[in-house]
Amino acid sequence: MPLTLEWPEIVLRLALTVAAGVLIGLERDTHGRPAGLRTTLLVCLAAAIAMIQVNLMLAVAGKAPDSFVTLDLMRLPLGILTGVGFIGAGAILRKDDRILGVTTAATLWSVTVIGLCFGGGQIGLGIAATALVLIVLSALKYLEAYLTREHRAILTLTAVAEPPAEELRRLLAAAGMRIARRNITFSTAPKQVRLELNLQWRSREKDHHPPAFLAELAARSGMLNLQWQMQDEER
């Protein structure tokens, strides 16, 4: 970083920071993620402003002859990274056995580093980092559509008699699903049986529709209610 920093250079760094934050924030906003345009842009700007402040204070860094105190300017961006770690931790949620928001937290961490690059004057590195982050968030999402991954869902059946276990196992096996956990609840007034199955299977990301055998199960006599709830993590 240069010892003297003029306003045209400051404006250039801030403009590039805003452009990077807007591009990445729009990608997250259009997909309905918790950290959208404003959050991403604010985090990126905060990191850039911190590095610009460090650059402006380079002339006063060091240790005075009559002082035991040494001014370590690099503690400021390190503190920014630590603070973003708390923001990222707040974006991560645990719901039952699922972890949500990891990609959002990683995005906030990435835009912070991009802001530090632009604020510190590493323009080429910041532009390259912005392009790579956009490729990871946008372009790789289309690649994931052709990769098989694990899916999870909860199938809940409510019937006046015990659900057909053998037929259910046959239908699940034909669909490539396995039962990870089951829970059976009996009710005497009125007499009902509630079966809850936690299912797991592997398929392509675009195969996100309910399985065809649900219609066959729902049409059986004695079936009172059938619910299908996907439990996939945020992508």
Ordered alpha helix ranges (H), the chain: 7-30, 37-56, 75-91, 102-119, 123-134, 140-144, 165-174, 213-218
Between strands 93-95 and 223-230, the pairing is: unpaired
Contact 44, 17 (CB under 8 A): yes
* Neighbouring residues of 205: CB distance < 8 A, sequence distance ≥ 6: 144, 145, 146, 147, 149, 235
Q: What is the CATH number of domain 150-230?
A: 3.30.70.260
- Domain extent listing, the chain: 7-63+71-144, 150-230
End-to-end CA distance of the chain: 37
Per-residue pLDDT tens for 181-209? Answer: 888 888 876 788 888 999 988 887 655 67
Tell me the three state secondary structure of residue 149. strand
Q: Mean pLDDT over all residues of the chain?
A: 83
Tokens, residue 118: 């632009």
pLDDT at 133: 92
**Torsion-angle region of residue 36: left (phi > 0), alpha (psi -120 to 50) or beta?**
beta
Has this prediction a pTM greater than 0.85?
A: no
pLDDT at 117: 92
Q: Does 48 score more than 90 pLDDT?
A: yes
